Structure 1
């Protein structure tokens, strides 16, 4: 029998109405009552406390015996207890190093001190052997016989200290500049600066030889160094520039009735720097030659590296201001002529702080890292000809060099992105030959790794985890990477028993439709499947690194905030580091971009997967560069972001520190600085904004926030501001974090947080 058309339409309409109301019933916004919110705050506090009382042991730090046959380490236990374990690597035996109660009792009996248990958490503690312990308490040393726990004061304070995380080759900071060596290599002469000029004094006869006459008190010679044969002096004629100051007032110093003015040097983008012009002085002929190169006007003079068995040629590094050219320059001391051994140029930026250089004098070679092929890799450079040989290669990133074994011609380094089946930010450790052969992955297991070696590098301890997978720590043999003994393995069950939902990893395509953007998602432990929850993004888009956590993270501010009724996320968008050069270059003269296009696409894709995410209610918060980013979210993307909390933000890159901002925004300071300023764009504000600033911030000047407030006031915009007396560079501390939560509860949940003024002070 046929159904009449009107009946068919009625059924269809009723079906649509059912689906509509069903869908909306399942996706109704979470609207907590005042009681619900009070319970949520209490639950968040209790959960955070419970999680932090469960040990993670993310970072096992061993203390090795000098001969490398044994080590000990402190293991965290539940409820903030701890124990030491001792492992004999020869026999493989691991045991509890001592009975903590007996040790405490023995020390208290011998010293008449109390509270020893707390002191032992952070004291210097060393094993002479398995049964003899030496430790330092209140500046006094004691030796403990672990057979009977007898304690004796000792005057012999000699102990073997070895930091397993220290690098065999420390990276030189170019900000540190070069040392000045006044005494000649043979010890017979000494350099003095008199009236800004170089004078050489014969230490036997006290005779003085004046080598320069054009120096002055205003423009003196400085930063001098001898050639290895003592026949030449390299010095720099300086053109000093005063570093301008910034100021702040401490309003609430106890015992005063007036604000206390503080001032300090603080270079901002575009400020003048002292310049250094190199010269070579010949002691035999008493002549001076100006080196054929422009003055160094960014960083100070850098260390000199002489050719093997030669006092005629040296090289030094020069980074041009604006970070678009980096050179290793060779100088002929007899002529002053120069040659570029390395000359890297770019149209965007060279990330100078990531450049690693190691000078191998005996072979006249340089180990050098660069992004010149599109990815950060290691090069072997002939220090005479400049010829470069790529040691590592591929679409992955060398994160840092840990050490160089010159004898074996091997490089030990960290990298990420080489394992294509996992998160491209996970750090793994490798070694490789200078010739690019023999690559060995010391840490093949999936996860983010932290590694440390024994003193002789025969063994290493490897700890790896993921943001939602607890860490595993193993002792391994360096020769073959085989596991000698598994030391620790965390379990997920103690955390899940608290009710927490561990962070989830989510990946979506970026603005190019090809590149994967990685982030994490934190959800409330008591999320109602029939409700939708506002999204809050924790943002920090500083191009100096990547910031989404990769190691095990059951407890965090993000998780604690999620407990109030939010889905909290963190994302690394384009413009941050540790991916390809092209990925990083998005930030060039473009800090206002902050990867927002990628972040918005990521959150939309996340909301499509997670039906409990309310894509129409987006909040964002951040500190420092994240403070700049969170305010920028409201100014430049008001169609998406609705509420922001910005702590100690760098709201105008012209106000912030010179070195950081010129690295990404370039030099000279151009119109793009003003166009991207939150202060310049303050009148665009549409959403709800909460500014937090510490009056004693010495990282980002407080006036950065106050000038933004001034611009918002002049634009007749509503906003909240919290200035915290005495606070430095911070998110506001406990008070500021509570106010941040209250702000999001009011503006995204349309609810009232607990009224703390009605609660008696503790």
Structure 2
């Protein structure tokens, strides 16, 4: 089975790195909000060749076909569709011999429906256990993401898991024993643990006991799994386990890292939480200077991402050399699981629907206000930086709370959600005709005159994810408002601006020098 994609309806954008005497332009299809998407259809052909059978779900209006799955029936293909707004999902079963189809189940949401978790690397939220006429679907319809079990007629057999926590992934299924293995946040949204449970929901048992964040790689027959885990005070461990709760081998204990830590300066990530002014508990992380003195006052730099469904703060070992460097130079480095983040329930994550920027910036400001109550925080010297969505969130926060954030560094930022692609933006912002006011309120360009602090913009000219027009349009808006900003362009770079090791190092040096000049300086 395969997708056939016709990109001709999509508008084309072009890029150049200005390296040649005469520019060479790279052109790619890139549908922005409101533009026409590619036309897609599904075909099935025998492996040895022959005539293609085309599969038509006969959906009306514009729609996506984001996932297809072979079922336990060799002649049946499962096809997921999403309407363009991505709030109605349908599951069709197709007979690949003749193209016949039937609707098996559908689900609607007042916000959006996820069919995968990009940030966690989880590409499928639906699975089809071998040897069973059943499928499993991860849905947040109850307010938390849980496993729902259906038969092939579309009848809901049972909700397998329940509770105020989320199943993040089905790791494997043992159809003969009637057991599902899954990872979840039941212990804490800051951790991941492996569990097993019966198909009927009975006998739920936790298999990973050590505190931390566990990433599971399970064998197809579910007899074994590799557990890669770490915690804030424990470098990554890699272990081979039998699912009968017996460790077979310590594959990596990272004695080299442990030895290095004994002879080098390192500041562990510390977890904290606080209650925002509206009563919402928020989780954050902080990296302190290695010679931290609670009687001193330190400048703060928020290093953030903040996009819908992402998660920044975990109980895991910190490995960012740049954040360590900043801490060693006397900064408190802060991360936050702001509203919009995944794995805190759908109300928490989907609060940002139709209004990107609003709640993310609110929570960064709330965190800054909380930190200012701590005696060792210099509340007059707080900055914020991020890349991609983190760049957008940085700009929106600077424009919304200029009295709190003194400095911002935005790398490869979206500056108006209309400039980003259809499938991502319309999922969270809705269609432009239905939410024009929301698009206006989420635009940094339309609030450029509110930015008061020091701002460094970084972009490349070959960024095919966030087109450089975003930064260029913002520069014009800032200039028209009489607002100055610093700019660094790295022409050959892709998304994130760096294009080799030297440019990566230089960008980090530019960041550091900018913070030293404008955030740490008392002038």
- Asked if 1:433 corresponds to 2:198, the answer is yes
1:305 Cα deviation from its structure 2 partner:
6.2
1:320 to 83, 95, 108: 83
Secondary structure in structure 2 of the residue aligned to 1:641: coil
What is the match of residue 367 of structure 1?
Answer: 136
Residue 498 of structure 1, aligned match among 264, 270, 287: 264
CA deviation after TM superposition for structure 1 residue 474, in Å = 4.1
User: What secondary structure, in the 3-state scheme, does the structure 1 residue paired with 2:149 have?
Assistant: strand
Assess if the C-alpha contact under 8 Å between 1:626 and 1:649 holds in 2.
yes
Q: How far has the Cα of 1:694 moved from its partner?
A: 0.8
Q: Distance in 1 between matches of 2:356 and 2:87?
A: 17
The question of 1:242 aligning with 2:9 is answered yes
- CA apart distance, 1:457: 5.0
Matches of 2:89 and 2:357 in 1, distance apart? 26
After TM superposition, give the deviation of residue 308 of structure 1 in Å.
Answer: 5.3
Aligned Cα RMSD in Å?
A: 3.4
**Rounded Cα–Cα distance in structure 1 between residues aligned with 2:170 and 2:97:** 35
Distance 1:405 1:362, change over 3 A: closer
Q: Once the two structures are superposed, what CA deviation does each residue of 1:79-126 show, in whole Å capped at 9, x if it has no partner?
A: xxxxxxxxxxxxxxxxxxxxxxxxxxxxxxxxxxxxxxxxxxxxxxxx
Could you list the per-position Cα deviations for residues 703-722 of structure 1 after superposition, in whole angstroms to 9, with x for gaps in the alignment? Answer: 11111011111111111111
Aligned in 2, Cα 1:710/1:394: closer, same or farther, shift over 3 Å? same
Alpha-carbon offset, residue 370 of structure 1: 0.7
Per-residue deviation, 1:520: 1.2
Return 5+ residue gaps in structure 1 as ranges: 1-177, 181-222, 224-237, 280-288, 753-762
Q: How far is the alpha carbon of 1:473 from its aligned partner?
A: 4.4
Q: 1:745 to 1:570 in 2, by over 3 A?
A: same
SS at match of 2:370: helix
Unaligned runs of 5+ in 2: 44-53, 118-123, 499-503
Report the Cα distance in structure 2 between the residues aligned to 1:460 and 1:291, rounded to whole angstroms.
Answer: 39
**TM-score (norm. length: structure 1):** 0.60
Aligned partner of 1:526 in structure 2 is 291
Cα shift at 1:267: 1.6
Q: Do structure 1's residue 712 and structure 2's residue 478 form an aligned pair?
A: yes
Which position in structure 1 is the counterpart of 2:306?
541
Offset of 1:563 from its aligned partner? 2.1
Aligned equivalents of 1:336, 1:308: Cα separation in 2 = 15
Could you tell me which residue of structure 1 aligns to residue 110 of structure 2?
A: 347
Distance 2:249 2:94 in 1: 53
In the aligned structure 1, how far is the partner of 2:382 from the partner of 2:164? 34
In the alignment, which residue of structure 1 is the partner of 2:51? none
The one of 729, 732, 737 aligned to 2:508 = 737
Q: Deviations over 1:4-59 (max 9, x none)?
A: xxxxxxxxxxxxxxxxxxxxxxxxxxxxxxxxxxxxxxxxxxxxxxxxxxxxxxxx
SS at match of 1:739: helix
In 2, Cα distance between equivalents of 1:381 and 1:585: 26
Determine the structure 1 residue equivalent to 2:234: 469
**Corresponding residue number in structure 1 for 2:152:** 383
Deviations 1:384-413 (A, max 9, x none): 143241011111111112222233332222
> Cα deviation per residue 1:568-616 (whole Å; 9 max; x = unaligned)?
11111111112201111112112112523233333333443x4211122
Name the structure 1 match of 2:47.
none
Question: Cα distance, 1:458 vs. partner?
Answer: 4.2
Q: 1:361 to 1:405 in 2, by over 3 A?
A: closer
Is 1:611 aligned to residue 378 of structure 2? no
Q: Is the 8 A contact 1:731 1:737 kept in 2?
A: no
Per-residue deviation, 1:624: 0.6
2:416 matched to which residue of 1? 652
Task: Confirm or deny that 1:396 pairs with 2:165.
Answer: yes
Would the alpha carbon gap of residues 730 and 528 (structure 1) be closer, same or farther in structure 2, given more than 3 Å must change? same
Residue 694 (structure 1) aligned with residue 455 (structure 2): no
Q: Is the 8 A contact 2:302 2:384 kept in 1?
A: yes
For 1:721 and 1:240, the matched residues in 2 are separated by: 34
Distance in 2 (CA, whole Å) between partners of 1:652 and 1:450 is: 35
1:564 to 2:335 alignment: no
Give the C-alpha shift of residue 315 in structure 1: 5.4
Superposed CA deviations along residues 606-644 of structure 1, whole A, max 9, x for unmatched, are 443x42111222100000111111111110111211110
- TM-score by structure 2 length? 0.86
In structure 2, the residue matched to 1:68 is none
Tell me the SS of whatever aligns to 2:230: strand
Distance 2:266 2:57 in 1: 65
Deviation for aligned residue 1:327: 1.1
Distance 1:349 1:302, change over 3 A: closer
Deviation at 1:325, TM superposition (A): 0.7
- Provide the rounded CA distance (Å) in 2 between the counterparts of 1:525 and 1:334: 66
In 2 relative to 1, CA 654–371 (structure 1 residues): closer, same or farther, beyond 3 Å? same
- Cα distance between partner residues in 2 of 1:353 and 1:397: 14
SS where residue 410 of structure 2 aligns? strand
- Corresponding residue of 1:135: none
The verdict on how the C-alpha distance between 1:239 and 1:634 changes in structure 2, with shifts beyond 3 A counting, is closer
SS of the residue corresponding to residue 586 of structure 1 reads: helix
8 Å Cα contact 1:460/1:475 also seen in 2: yes
- In the alignment, which residue of structure 1 is the partner of 2:178? 409
Q: How many residues are matched?
A: 500
CA distance in 2, matches of 1:433, 1:697: 47
1:604-683 maps to which residues of 2 (within 5 A)?
A: 604-608=369-373, 610-669=374-433, 670-671=435-436, 672-683=438-449
For 1:430 and 1:592, locate their aligned partners in 2 and report how far apart those are by CA, in whole Å. Answer: 35
1:661, 1:353 → 2: CA distance? 16
Deviation at 1:470, TM superposition (A): 3.1
Q: 1:367–1:685: structure 2 CA closer, same or farther, 3 Å change rule?
A: same
* CA distance in 1 between partners of 2:79 and 2:481 (Å): 52
Contact 1:534 1:748 in 2 (8 A): yes
Cα distance in 1 for residues equivalent to 2:84 and 2:145? 21
Q: 1:385 to 1:414 in 2, by over 3 A?
A: closer
Q: Pick closer, same or farther for the CA change 1:362–1:458 going to 2, 3 Å.
A: closer
Partner Cα separation in structure 1 for residue 449 and residue 493 of structure 2? 28
SS at match of 2:464: coil
Which whole-Å CA distance do the structure 1 matches of 2:225 and 2:93 have between them? Answer: 39
Does the Cα contact within 8 Å between 1:607 and 1:615 map onto a contact in 2? yes
Query: 1:500-527: CA deviations, max 9, x gaps?
Result: 33221111124541x4322211122234
